[in-house]
Amino acid sequence: MTKELETLHEEQTVVAGEDFSKILAVKKIDRALVIFLEGDLGAGKTTFTKGIMRGLGHEGLVKSPTYNLIEIYETEQLKVFHFDLFRIKDPYELEEIGIREYLEEPSSACIFEWPINAKSLLPEPDYQVNIEHLKETEPESRKITIK
């Protein structure tokens, strides 16, 4: 199943993430849900994640894990591991931080920005979200495709 939508500004991208979080909150599996967020630099991957976290009831700051590699959020519904793999040079760097333990955590979700940089170590995603700039003249316009 594929869902496509367009957003015209940042808040609509956040709301799209919030709507997506409703799917995650009802899933009960004995491992982490795996979500790939793909798109160019600045496409809105972290903005979409802010919406996911807001939809799960997180009220604190949600920031890009570019320099930390991972940000961890706990909500009543899910524990969320938000990874940014943009700076990963060797996928085996993820082995050093214990990626397998994160992926095996029940009642959790692993959100990966730039999953292409570690594709050889990551399982197939449960959900793939592609975000792209829609128009150069409207810099906040996005096309979001969820598979």
Q: Token match 């919030």: residue?
A: 18
Residue 77, pLDDT score: 86
Residue 18, pLDDT score: 95
Residue 137 — very low, low, confident or very high, per pLDDT cuts 50/70/90? low
CATH for 3-146?
Answer: 3.40.50.300
Which of 40-44, 68-72, 133-137, 140-144 is the least confident region? 133-137
Written in H, E and C, the secondary structure of 64-120 is: CCCCCCEEEEECCCCEEEEEECCCCCCCCHHHHCCHHHHHHCCCEEEEEECHHHHCC
Please, what is the average pLDDT of the chain? 90
pLDDT tens-digit readout, 124-135: 999 999 999 877
Closest-CA residue to 108 (of 21, 19, 14, 34): 34
pLDDT tens-digit readout, 57-92: 999 889 887 777 899 999 988 999 999 999 888 877
The domain segmentation of the chain, as residue ranges, is 3-146
Given a cut of 80, whether residue 29 has pLDDT beyond it is no
Question: What share of the chain in percent tops pLDDT 90?
Answer: 60
Residue 41 — very low, low, confident or very high, per pLDDT cuts 50/70/90? confident
Given a cut of 90, whether residue 96 has pLDDT beyond it is no
